[in-house]
Structure 1
């Protein structure tokens, strides 16, 4: 009947952003293998549909695709309508989509394989990659737009559906690069740590201040991360961590956490990680499927609860 309210799905329902490849694809596969219905989302419609088809081909029939550009409110609104009409609720939201916001020039695949076989440790490989990485102001702004504002945009849009679940979970994929130890400004560190008073509006303001300082070439003025190549990525992930904690404070009935999956082999780092996509994905999946009534507002470094500093 037109206008009827859809009956909530009897199965638990999960939605994963950036699910068409790498760790996002593995998160979808592992959640579906655990018995959840999964909405795989991706910006590229063809690649997203193909990824969902591959999962169904692996014997996971309850995987569907819906297009999503996390930075576009209209795209998120269409996704909300789809989930509401098809499932009536959302039990698990995994915000995995993100970008580094840099340009990496490492040569061909053979060059990467050579450095991986060189016997260098992970820190040395990371430094080798950094030396071949650049970022301009536009890329830095895009990094904040996608990683912080995009995550917040999708979460706020889907929040009522997660609240409709009897045990709603939100997992935000972040990075150890977003820890507050990388910020030189004590006032900035204190503000991002003051979760009792911090607001979403203030986080938006801080994002705008970072972009302003980035444009002026004055990141040290307020004490942002000093690494000019990765500063935008670090700031975006720190804001995601703070947003996670604010969201947990405001939604006591939900489990809202963020995870650092480790240095995972993905296209974002030219496949120089020391963990497979499956190993990285297992962290988000474990936090998403943890026993009811567990921790909220926490930061997981792999499977261990750790400090945001």
Structure 2
């Protein structure tokens, strides 16, 4: 099944990003797998080709590097006339054991640079192509750890997981979702934060109980919303998550 729908996923050469690419490709989307290292992206494409997917291409993009993002945009403009879906998936965990009182500014800066600022500047650069779509969708891949409501609830199962830099970066990303959604509320663009859950990837040292395939399904759901779908909200597979 093929159509003229297009999608760009950052950090898509492995883990949840890779599975999201696979699922969107299965729906007929022409999928561009963004990866910081082009070789890793091409390796992921080879794997998808072996599975029978020909509607996938690699795109080199380092979300922390403005020039790399600009180059990726210019390359994409030579291949497609519009972008229907942008999934800001690239992310890092940083040093997860540090308490706020001792966490290094370098660690905090590195995590925010990728997880928050990276998503913001990628979104800013690709709004031009998204604006040429009849139904543009943006998914910011977040985490329940970015929910201040859940982080403040001692009854929540992940309440002890106070990973300062990472959690803060996802809270900031959620804020960006609200802000972008408000700016484009009178347009066809829909943008939401989505939490794939505690998933077994290298980001979690494969400690999560969920598979990348499971995590990708909820992302794809909100990447393919119809005209009546929500915008400016935060979701996991069970529905809306409190900010």
CA distance in 1, matches of 2:162, 2:136: 36
Q: Work out whether residues 102 and 229 of structure 1, in 8 Å CA contact, stay in contact via their aligned partners in 2.
A: no
Kept in 1: contact 2:144–2:150 (CA 8 A): no
Partner of residue 285, structure 1: 220
Which among 243, 257, 261 is matched to residue 176 of structure 2? 243
Are positions 1:261 and 2:229 aligned together? no
Runs of 4+ in 1 over 6 A off after TM superposition: none
Q: How does 1:59-70 map to 2 (within 5 A)?
A: 59-70=52-63
Q: 1-side partners of 2:43 and 2:56: how far apart?
A: 11
Q: Whose helix proportion is higher, 1 or 2?
A: 1
CA contact (8 A) 1:248 1:255 kept: yes
User: How big is the shift at 1:101?
Assistant: 0.8
For 1:295 and 1:245, the matched residues in 2 are separated by 12
Superposed CA deviations along residues 199-253 of structure 1, whole A, max 9, x for unmatched, are xxxxxxxxxxxxxxxxxxxxxxxxxxxx896111111101100101110111122
Corresponding position of 1:51: 44
Quote the Cα distance in structure 1 between the aligned partners of 2:205 and 2:103: 16
The correspondence for 1:232, drawn from 154, 157, 165, is 165
Distance 1:103 1:174, change over 3 A: closer
Q: CA deviation at 1:45?
A: 1.4
For 2:191, what is the secondary structure of its paired residue?
A: strand
Deviation of residue 103 (structure 1)?
5.9
The CA distance in 2 between the partners of 1:245 and 1:298, in whole Å, is: 7
2 CA distance for matches of 1:135 and 1:60?
43
Q: How many residues get paired?
A: 232
Aligned equivalent of 2:149, options 181, 193, 196: 181
Hey, what does 1:270 align to over in structure 2?
205
Aligned: 1:172 with 2:107: no
Which residue of the partner structure matches residue 40 of structure 1? 33
Report Cα offsets for 1:60-87 as digits up to 9, x if no partner: 1110001010011111111111121111
Q: Is the 8 A contact 1:90 1:161 kept in 2?
A: yes
Kindly report the root-mean-square deviation, in angstroms, between the aligned alpha carbons of the 2 structures: 2.3
Q: Is 2:221 the partner of 1:295?
A: no
Query: In the TM superposition, what are the counterparts of 1:1-309 in structure 2 within 5 Å?
Result: 11-102=4-95, 136-181=104-149, 230-252=163-185, 253-308=188-243
Larger-gyration structure (1/2): 1
Aligned mates of 1:167, 1:293 — CA distance in 2: 11
Deviations 1:19-75 (A, max 9, x none): 000111000000000100000010011111110121122111110001010011111
TM-score normalized by the length of structure 1:
0.71
| TM-score in terms of structure 2 length | 0.89
Tell me the CA shift for residue 296 of structure 1: 0.4
Unaligned 5+ segments in structure 2 are 153-159
